[in-house]
Structures are given as C-alpha cells and as structure tokens.
Structure 1
Amino acid sequence: MPNYGRSGRCLTCKRRRVKCDEARPACSPCRRLGLDCGGYTKDYAFRDESHRFASAATLKTLKEQGALVHRSAAAGEPSRSLLTGADVAVPFFLVHYAGMGRSLAVARGFYETLIPMYTSQPHDSPLSLAVSAVAARVFSLWRHEDAAQVEPHLAPYTQAVASLRSALERPEDRRRPATTLAVLALHLYESISAVYDARQATPVHHHGALSLLPIAALDSLDGLISTYVKGFVLHTEISSALRQKRSMHPNVYSYVNSPHTSSLVPGNFSSTLDSIGASVAELQADYVRGLSRRHASGPLLEQQCRAWITEAGQIDELLRAWARDVPDHWRPLRLTSGQDFSPSITAYRSACDIYPSCQIATLWNLWRFHRLLLLKITVGATQRISTLPRDESAGDERLVPTTMESAIQAGSIQELVDSICHSVPFYLGNRTKQSSLSDFTDPEILFPSYHLLTPGDARIAARHQDCDDAALSGDEQHRHIVAYGAWHIVSPLSNLLTLVSDDHGGRLVASCLRLGQQEWIREQFLRVSTLVRLPAAGPFGGEKGRSPPLLPVDPKSADSAAESLAKQVRKGAIFMSGP
C-alpha cells in the first residue's frame, strides 16, 4: 500500500541499511566512502501490510514452523518420518508461497490475503481444510511422492468440499471472503491435479467463485480483504478467457465495466492491468469469431478488420500508459553474463533482466503477452484485408502496411519476445534438475539478482528504493524464487510456443523472430518442465501415477515434446491465474 512518509535516509544508505545524517547535497557516510549518494526521494513506496490482518506473533510462528524444512534440508533430503502431515505442509506452503516475495501493491488477491484469513478461521472451516489439501498436494510434489499416494491431501480435500457445501447453504457464510477463498483454494487444488494428471481441469470451482462475485461482503475489515479476493476472481476469469479465446463470463464483464471498477483495488497495478486485459480478451474473442464466419462478405469482413486494428491500437496505448506509470524500481534491469552474474546461468544472448520479485516479473510478462496478442491481431487483420478481392472500378484501396510499418510491427514483436526470454534466468538461475526440498539450502544454486551487484553500483541506487518488495534479504530472495520461480515462467513460455503455432496469425509472429529463438524457447520450456516435474506427454510419458521420466534430448523429439507439453499445461491450467 502507498506510504508517503519522509525517506529518513538517502537511497544509497537505505540500500546499504546503515545510518544516514541526511546531509545535502550528499550525506557524510557516502562522501566518506566515496559512494554516489542516491539523494532523497518523496516518491511513494509500497509496503506489505499483512501485519494489518495477521499478528506478528502468528507470522513469526509460521516462519518458525516453516524453518523446520530448511534445517532438515541442510543435511540433504529430509526424512519422511520427520516431515509429515499438515503441521509441516501448511507452514511450508504459507511461508514460501503466500508470504515471501508478496506485496499488496502488486497483489492479485489470493496469496496475499491467505495468511490473515487462514489464521482467523477454525481448524475445521472450509478454508482451513482447503488450504491443508493444497499444501499437502504442493508439499508432495517437493518430496517426489507418486501421484498414487493421495491420501494426505485427498482426505482434507473431500472434507473441505463437504464443509464448503454446508457453508454455502447459509446466506451469511456465502457473503464472507473466507468462503470465496476456500472455493479458490479448491480451484487451485483441482488445477494442480489436472496439470499433473495430464487432463483438462474441471470448471466447477471456477464457476463457483464467479457465482459468489456479486454477493461478496463489502464491509468492515472483511470488506478490505474481500476487495482483493474479488480482484483475484476477476483475474482468473480474464486469464481463462484469454486462454480459451472466448468472451468473459457475464458476471465479470458487467463488473469490469461497472462505474465502481476503478476503485476495486485502488493503487494496485495488477488490478489496473487486468482491466486492460479484459479488453484484450474481448477483442481476441471477437477476432476469432469474426474470422470463423464463412458467410461474411468481402466488404463486411474488411470493415470488421479495420475495426479490430483500430481497437487493438487503442488498447495498446492503454498498455503503454500503464508501463509509463509503474514505479521506476519495478522496471527490468539488464545484466550481462560473466560480468554481472555467473556464466553457469543460461541466458539469452548473454544477457538477462532482473526484478524486485517474481510477482513484478510475472506482471511484466503478462503485459508483454497482452501486447503480443494485440500485435498478432493487427498483423493478421491487415494481412486478411490485403488478400480480399479488389474492386478496381470502385477505386478500392486496401489497407496495406508500408515497409516501415511492417518493420515497426516486426521490431515490436521481436522486442517483446526478447524481453520474455531475458526474464528466464531470473526465474530459473542455473537450475537444471528436478526440484527438491534440498534446493532451498543448496549453495550451488545461483540466481541473478540485485544482491550479486556491489553496494555502490549506481544501478541499485537508481532503482532499489525504500520498498518492502525490493528489500528482501538475499536468503529470502533465493527461497521465494526457488519456491515458485519455475512455475511463474511455465505459462509465459507455453504461451509463446502456443502463440507462434496458432492458426490465427501465429505463424506471422514466428516469422518475426530471429533465427534459433523459437528453438531456444522450446529448450527452456522443456527445462522448466523438468524442474517442476511435469509428466512428459505423448510417447515420452510414463504410466499414470508414476514419477515423470527425463525429457528427451534429441532435437526433433524435444520439439515434439515441447509442443505436446505446452498444450498439456494450458489444458490443465486453463482456469489458473495468468494467461
């Protein structure tokens, strides 16, 4: 949330976490050490205000319980006798997935509100049981348990469904955000299971959350949390509509276009981006429907194509304005391999971009994906117009892009895809093996980050301001990226593979990429699939319920496996957060 208080220290001293005498124009500590004093800013900063909802003692207890995992993992893979049950799985999940690296300034609304709501509920509530099921499911993946060993998470899942049904029969419970969070937690459980079972997710929990959207409470403390929870429901429906190339659910469409939408999550850049993403989803759905109408006449189709191009340009301008408004320290910082980070970290064209957190990096990749979709629609509609029959007698003029316009579009596509590729090292570091609990304490695992740069680096002083999401310690930064960094890059990579092979203009996008880039994206997608232990699709898949085999290394086989896995991931994650 915004904090407009005085800085108290220069930017350099804040970064170094030392005292500052606030001398002007440069403070004494910086002058004494010969450092470039970053000066004093009055720009607002964002703070994680979880303490407003959950007590410090509660958060401390969760972290202490979660630390058991790291103490055990320090000596290798933790023993099954030591780490069993919800007493470890739930703290592990809440600390690493709902705690570290999260900020309300960029919150989508689920994870950021989960800890305060969970700690306020009785142990047998729908939310507590649903969180126990999700935590056990996630923890089983880290422990490499076979899918057949479902008892630890299936039991609380079944109990949570029964408890939720009872709660939904009571009008007062239907209005509570804890009930909606329980539905969303069960929805997450179903999506994870669908991805790892290589099947399409069922929409029952997603539709349940949408049905609760109009009746969620908007009063007292629950009202603030409910605001964020509503935002997450909107986000998942917009993401699902983008994946399925369909229009949004009427509840969401009316809510996004209602007069009070602008105040849904005030000052939240994720919420603002979602409101633009809703327009992208509706335009894409209209574009796909329009191209499928075989009866459309030439003039009618041309008129529609021109309308799509105009609307795509207007939405793209909104996205550009969004990018201009984000805080400066959220912008990607370009690093060079061998100079700023270890060559052991695979980077695209020897460079990578770093961000304050996975949340912020993923927000940028979502922004890039929106713009890529708009460019695909623009290029596809323009090409469709150029292929329509011309009426010479009527002086028909076609919308044919000039060489410069085509070059600008191709350059924009290349730049956006490059930026997604440059974000891959931030999420994956030098990891290449299947994830395990010992990764949290493995000193050989490296990630490019601000913490690798020297304290006096001017790039840090310019971007690394007094901001909680940018002030994670090196250990916290490492652990939150180990926990969910790989998962945050699964969707962007699978989206790219799907986009370049799409029937509606995708191959035009692929033609704009430089030689070998599409193959590099496939390689990284197969790599991240290994990290998160996705079951290999097609002839490379194992028996259901068994651990996934290693993915193929033969180039042709890898290409086929990547395409199959990308479709599999999108099928299982069709209702999950992200495009």
Structure 2
Amino acid sequence: MPNYGRSGRCLTCKRRRVKCDEARPSCSPCRRLKVTCEGYAKSYAFKEQNYKFTSREAVKEDRQVALFQPAGEPSRSLLVGADVAVPFYLLHYASMGRSLAIGRGFYEVMIPAYNSEPSNSPLSLAISAVATGIYSFWRHQDAVKQQAQAPHHVQAVAALRSALERPEERARPATALAVLVLHLYESIHAVYSARSAEPVHHHGALSLLPTALSLDGLDGLIGAYVKGFVVHTEISSALRQKRSIHPAASSYVTKLQTSSLVPENFSSTLDSIGAPVAELQADFVRRMVAKLPFDIALEEQCRGWVTQAEQIEDLLQTWARDVPESWHPLRLTSGQDLDPSIPTYQSACDIYPSCQIATLWNLWRFHRLLLLKITAGASQRISSSSARHIQDLVDGICYSIPFYLGNRTKQSSLSDFADPEILLPSYHSLPPGDARRCHTALSKDEHHRHIVAYGAWHILSPLTNLLTLVKDEHGGRFVAGCLRAGQLEWIRGQLLRIGILVRLPAAMHSSDEIGGLAGYGKAEDLARQVRNGARFMSGP
C-alpha cells in the first residue's frame, strides 16, 4: 500500500530542509523569503502489506492482471480501497491515451493537480470517491462500491464546502476540478440509478468560471484547461437538452467568430463551433414548439436558420481539414484486416490513433447531423445531397463502433485488461510492413488497456444521442428516412451490447451473452436513461 511519508512540506521547503506551515497556494516561509513555492507533491513508496487483507482468490486474479506492475518488477497483490483504486484510476483513465492537444481539460490535468494537493483536500477526497467506485465496478463488487465510496464522498463534500467559504480557495483550479470530479460522481450514480442527474455541481462549476484563470504558472495552465472543460460540458448539456448555453459560459464561446478557449487544442476549437450549433438548435426548437403559423416572418426565419447552418458547416469542414492527417479514420475490412469475430457494420471498421481522437470525430459528426436535421426541419424537405451526407455521417459512427468495442460481448472485469482473447482493432493490428500502418504514441498493450477502460463509455453517448435524434419530432424523421435498411436495428443492438459491457441495469439479462436479450425495446429505454443520467456530462 502507498506510504505517503511523514512530511507534508512543500517541495521548496523539503529541499531547503526547513519547517513549512503548508499554507496554500504558497507557504509562509516561501512568501517571506520571496521564493517560488513549488507546491505539494505526493510521492508513493509501495510497501508490500496487502497480503494481510486480500483473499487468495483476489491475489490470484490481481497477479494474473498485474495492472500496476512495471516491467521487471515483482507482482503485487491489490487491496480494494483508495490506496489501490486511485493509482488504478489515474493510470487507466487520466494517463493512457491522453494529450493536451486533444484533451478537453479534465483528465489531462488531473494528475498534476492531484499531485499538488494534500490527501485531505477536496480534490483528493473526490478522486478517492470516484476511483473506489470505479475500481469496485471492475471487480464486480457493487456492495463494496457503496461502502467504499460513501466515506470519501461525504468527506469530499464537507471539505469542498469549507474551501468554497474562502476566496483564495475558490480561485484555485484544484477547487473547480474537485467540483467537476464530484459532478462525475453524481452523473455515474444517476446513470446506474436510471434517474436524472442533479445539476448542483455543474452549476457550481459554472459559478467558478470567472476566477478559474486568475493564477499564473502551473495553476494558470491547469485553470485554462479546467475552464475549457466546464465550457465543454455546458455546451454538451445544452445540445442534449435543446436549450441555450448558460450565460456564465456563453461569454467564452459565442458567435461564429469566437476563437477556441484553449489555443492549439482541437477539442476546444470544436467546442467553439459547437456553441453556435447549440444556440441554433435552441432557437429552432423554441419556434417549432410554439407552433407559430407559417407566415412570411417564419418563412424568413427558416431561411435564416438554413443560412446559419451552412455557415457553421463551413467551419466544421475547416476543422476537419486542419486536424493532423494521422487523425483521420483509416478504413479496415473484416476478414482481410480484421478478425471475423469482431462485429462490424457492412464488414468495415475505422481505426484511430486513440479513443479521444475517435470521440472528437463522432462529436464532429453529431454537430453536422444536427445541422442537417435543422435544415430539413426548417425547409420541410431534404435534398439528395443532404441525404447522402446523413448516410455517410451515420455510417462513420457505425464504422467506429468496432474500434471502441472489438469482439467484447460480456460484462467487463479486471481480467479484460490482460485478456489475449479480446481483440481490439488498431494500427497495431496491421502487419509491420503494411504501408497504411502509422506510428502511434501508445504501445499495443497501452492501447488495449485504454480502450478496455473507457472505449464502451465513449461510444455510449454518440449512440444514445443518435437514437434520440432520429426520433425527434422536429426533423428527426428526415434523418431516419436516410438510413439504410436494418441500420437502426443494428445500432440498437450495439447499444444493448454496450449496456452489458458496462453493466447498466436496463440492459442486464440472466445471460452474459448479447444473444440472450429479447427484442430491441430495451434499447430505447436504455438510451433515455443514459441521456437523463448524463445530461450534464461531457459529450457527444
């Protein structure tokens, strides 16, 4: 288990070997001497004591998986608790496959922020609450999950309330990040409880936006990305709920001319385009719900919506041209490039360098689908070119599903991280001499682990949004009419498959196999429950 050591001194005082009062954001000795206070980093020295608390079965399982075992080091057994859950969570969710050039600003800054915080800080306690719950999920220990999460969650909420009473703490990015982690905790519980997520933490994060960029140095960089993530979740939430963006976030991303909040970040740039998509949809839905008579004014308004949609479409096309060439999807063929055991749509699969890049493309596709739906709804018809675009975009989402899921069909478990029977299409699947093969930052093992960890979650939202889109009363029928025969049924089946992988109650059956599910009526219920629980989460 980790030994945090006896000293909580800042790094500067540790190096100088002097007493530190551990004040934040900088300690008193550093302020007095006018030197840079380098913050508070946790260092982990592992001592093998877990065997005292772990059953033989758990030791056998953990040795097989060897999740934290660096090459050449002996196997370590794992204890279900924050001491093991937090490193597991940070490794597989906040580290592998993450990049500041791609990231939305949540997981990408979590580790440096966490390392600068004491163990009793709101951020550390919030991460412990989420991590223990997620780790318990992987071990199929739902009862343990509830017991393990509750103390950390209660302590995190209490610590956060105390921090928010102090102006200097409200201005710290770590405080805003703690709010976001607690929001994730609430959203996960809402999805698994089949209820609507409470907005308290989301609104709390929005209220901290004006102060999140007030610091310099590392805190300033973290603050910029945290602010970008808060804005991203608000845009995602507005798109899901067909409403306008909250005023606290709209000042950062409004109008077509707005540049990205985080420079040279393609996710932030896409958000700056997604904001006017959300506003256009909100305006369109308000007028349609009002059921105003079709007169000259409404006809002119409809033409205005079509014009706005075309302008935003141009920006989305520019975004696609600007991303690196290596980020574009590569089409593989089942039986030729892929093992036939991997379920595909029309025997095809698109692969990407990472899960994050694939998800950016699906968000891009969803923005375009919304614009096409609004255009069709405004003109009450769909052109042949728009129909082709809709088909291509939905096909693109379908072709990405094998990349996220591979040949997985059963409930997720820890053994999946090291299971050689799980096949996940990637550039590593191509022969070494294949001209299409490109270098990726992730090794084959790292790619396997990061897709296993959250691949199913990353495709869950696009599919639930797609099923909702085609049923929308304001233009959804035009989108549905463009799909291929049987395509919608295939998408429903894949959604139920994901529900089993992530063990969502609405998709569970006595059999672990997908074939044990009866009918597709559950797919619509599952989509609705996921959207209600994830209504304030990151999108698509």
Q: TM-score range by the shorter chain?
A: 0.7 to 0.9
What is the SS of the residue equivalent to 1:324? helix
Gaps of 5+ in 1: 1-52, 384-399, 542-547
CA distance in 2, matches of 1:232, 1:371: 21
- Are 2:404 and 1:427 aligned? yes
- Would the alpha carbon gap of residues 511 and 302 (structure 1) be closer, same or farther in structure 2, given more than 3 Å must change? same
Structure 2 counterpart of 1:559, which letter? Y
* Equivalent residue, structure 2, for 1:241: 238
Paired residue for 1:138, among 134, 139, 144?
134
Summarize deviations over 1:350-407 as a string: whole Å, max 9, x none: 1100000000000000000000000000111111xxxxxxxxxxxxxxxx77xxxx11
Paired residue for 2:147, among 148, 151, 156?
151
Summarize deviations over 1:418-448 as a string: whole Å, max 9, x none: 0000000000000000000010111100011
- Would the alpha carbon gap of residues 295 and 415 (structure 1) be closer, same or farther in structure 2, given more than 3 Å must change? closer
CA distance in 2, matches of 1:208, 1:520: 39
- Are 2:271 and 1:274 aligned? yes
* Equivalent residue, structure 1, for 2:177: 181
Displacement of 1:297 after TM fit?
A: 4.5
CA distance in 1, matches of 2:92, 2:273: 30
Structure 2 counterpart of 1:412, which letter? H
Displacement of 1:262 after TM fit?
A: 2.8
What is the SS of the residue equivalent to 1:75? helix
Judge which range, 182-191 or 143-152, deviates more.
143-152
Structure 2 counterpart of 1:276, which letter? I
* Equivalent residue, structure 2, for 1:568: 529
Summarize deviations over 1:249-306 as a string: whole Å, max 9, x none: 0011112139996363111000000000001000000000011123445222211111
Give the aligned length.
485
* Equivalent residue, structure 2, for 1:411: 388
Structure 1 counterpart of 2:499, which letter? S
Summarize deviations over 1:133-157 as a string: whole Å, max 9, x none: 0101111211112368512011100
Structure 2 counterpart of 1:110, which letter? F
Q: Which residues of 2 match residues 387-406 of structure 1 at below 5 A? A: 406=383
CA distance in 2, matches of 1:335, 1:491: 24
- Would the alpha carbon gap of residues 509 and 228 (structure 1) be closer, same or farther in structure 2, given more than 3 Å must change? same
CA distance in 1, matches of 2:498, 2:244: 31
* Equivalent residue, structure 2, for 1:18: none
What is the SS of the residue equivalent to 2:432? coil
Q: TM-score scaled by structure 2? A: 0.85
- Are 2:64 and 1:75 aligned? yes
CA distance in 2, matches of 1:75, 1:181: 34
Instruction: Report if aligned partners of 2:62, 2:78 keep a CA contact under 8 Å in 1.
Output: no
- Would the alpha carbon gap of residues 509 and 297 (structure 1) be closer, same or farther in structure 2, given more than 3 Å must change? closer
- Are 2:473 and 1:503 aligned? yes
- Would the alpha carbon gap of residues 415 and 224 (structure 1) be closer, same or farther in structure 2, given more than 3 Å must change? same
- Are 2:304 and 1:343 aligned? no
What is the SS of the residue equivalent to 2:142? coil
Paired residue for 1:450, among 427, 442, 454?
427
- Would the alpha carbon gap of residues 269 and 149 (structure 1) be closer, same or farther in structure 2, given more than 3 Å must change? closer
Displacement of 1:73 after TM fit?
A: 3.8
Gaps of 5+ in 2: 1-37, 68-76
* Equivalent residue, structure 2, for 1:535: 505
Instruction: Report if aligned partners of 1:218, 1:227 keep a CA contact under 8 Å in 2.
Output: no
* Equivalent residue, structure 1, for 2:209: 213
- Are 2:211 and 1:250 aligned? no
CA distance in 2, matches of 1:326, 1:500: 29
What is the SS of the residue equivalent to 1:199? coil
Displacement of 1:559 after TM fit?
A: 1.9
Q: TM-score scaled by structure 1? A: 0.79
CA distance in 2, matches of 1:271, 1:149: 34
* Equivalent residue, structure 2, for 1:299: 296
Instruction: Report if aligned partners of 1:535, 1:549 keep a CA contact under 8 Å in 2.
Output: no
- Would the alpha carbon gap of residues 261 and 123 (structure 1) be closer, same or farther in structure 2, given more than 3 Å must change? farther
* Equivalent residue, structure 1, for 2:436: 459
CA distance in 2, matches of 1:157, 1:187: 11
Structure 1 counterpart of 2:368, which letter? R
Displacement of 1:218 after TM fit?
A: 3.6
* Equivalent residue, structure 2, for 1:262: 259
CA distance in 1, matches of 2:322, 2:121: 41
- Are 2:224 and 1:224 aligned? no
What is the SS of the residue equivalent to 1:353? strand
- Are 2:154 and 1:193 aligned? no
Displacement of 1:452 after TM fit?
A: 1.3
Instruction: Report if aligned partners of 2:348, 2:399 keep a CA contact under 8 Å in 1.
Output: yes
* Equivalent residue, structure 2, for 1:360: 357
- Would the alpha carbon gap of residues 71 and 448 (structure 1) be closer, same or farther in structure 2, given more than 3 Å must change? farther
Instruction: Report if aligned partners of 1:379, 1:505 keep a CA contact under 8 Å in 2.
Output: yes
What is the SS of the residue equivalent to 1:334? strand
Instruction: Report if aligned partners of 2:411, 2:501 keep a CA contact under 8 Å in 1.
Output: yes
CA distance in 2, matches of 1:272, 1:497: 26
What is the SS of the residue equivalent to 2:331? strand
* Equivalent residue, structure 1, for 2:11: none
* Equivalent residue, structure 2, for 1:322: 319
CA distance in 1, matches of 2:98, 2:426: 17
Instruction: Report if aligned partners of 1:332, 1:354 keep a CA contact under 8 Å in 2.
Output: yes
Instruction: Report if aligned partners of 2:42, 2:116 keep a CA contact under 8 Å in 1.
Output: no
CA distance in 2, matches of 1:428, 1:480: 12
- Would the alpha carbon gap of residues 421 and 60 (structure 1) be closer, same or farther in structure 2, given more than 3 Å must change? farther
Instruction: Report if aligned partners of 1:86, 1:135 keep a CA contact under 8 Å in 2.
Output: yes
Instruction: Report if aligned partners of 1:334, 1:352 keep a CA contact under 8 Å in 2.
Output: yes
Judge which range, 495-504 or 106-115, deviates more.
495-504
- Are 2:346 and 1:376 aligned? no
CA distance in 1, matches of 2:245, 2:257: 18
- Would the alpha carbon gap of residues 504 and 58 (structure 1) be closer, same or farther in structure 2, given more than 3 Å must change? farther
Structure 1 counterpart of 2:64, which letter? A
- Would the alpha carbon gap of residues 179 and 261 (structure 1) be closer, same or farther in structure 2, given more than 3 Å must change? farther
Displacement of 1:219 after TM fit?
A: 1.8
Structure 2 counterpart of 1:432, which letter? T
CA distance in 2, matches of 1:169, 1:207: 17
Instruction: Report if aligned partners of 2:59, 2:78 keep a CA contact under 8 Å in 1.
Output: no
- Would the alpha carbon gap of residues 341 and 54 (structure 1) be closer, same or farther in structure 2, given more than 3 Å must change? farther
Instruction: Report if aligned partners of 2:40, 2:118 keep a CA contact under 8 Å in 1.
Output: no
* Equivalent residue, structure 1, for 2:4: none
Instruction: Report if aligned partners of 2:123, 2:175 keep a CA contact under 8 Å in 1.
Output: yes
What is the SS of the residue equivalent to 1:520? helix
- Would the alpha carbon gap of residues 57 and 247 (structure 1) be closer, same or farther in structure 2, given more than 3 Å must change? closer
Structure 1 counterpart of 2:399, which letter? H
Structure 2 counterpart of 1:167, which letter? A
- Would the alpha carbon gap of residues 228 and 323 (structure 1) be closer, same or farther in structure 2, given more than 3 Å must change? same
Instruction: Report if aligned partners of 2:344, 2:401 keep a CA contact under 8 Å in 1.
Output: yes
Structure 2 counterpart of 1:431, which letter? R
CA distance in 2, matches of 1:293, 1:153: 45
Instruction: Report if aligned partners of 1:526, 1:558 keep a CA contact under 8 Å in 2.
Output: no
Instruction: Report if aligned partners of 2:464, 2:530 keep a CA contact under 8 Å in 1.
Output: yes
- Would the alpha carbon gap of residues 85 and 412 (structure 1) be closer, same or farther in structure 2, given more than 3 Å must change? same
Structure 2 counterpart of 1:422, which letter? Y
Identity %: 67
- Would the alpha carbon gap of residues 355 and 70 (structure 1) be closer, same or farther in structure 2, given more than 3 Å must change? farther
Which structure's relative contact order is higher, taking Cα pairs within 8 Å and 6+ residues apart?
Answer: 1
- Would the alpha carbon gap of residues 338 and 498 (structure 1) be closer, same or farther in structure 2, given more than 3 Å must change? same
What is the SS of the residue equivalent to 2:350? strand
Instruction: Report if aligned partners of 1:308, 1:381 keep a CA contact under 8 Å in 2.
Output: yes
Instruction: Report if aligned partners of 1:486, 1:532 keep a CA contact under 8 Å in 2.
Output: yes
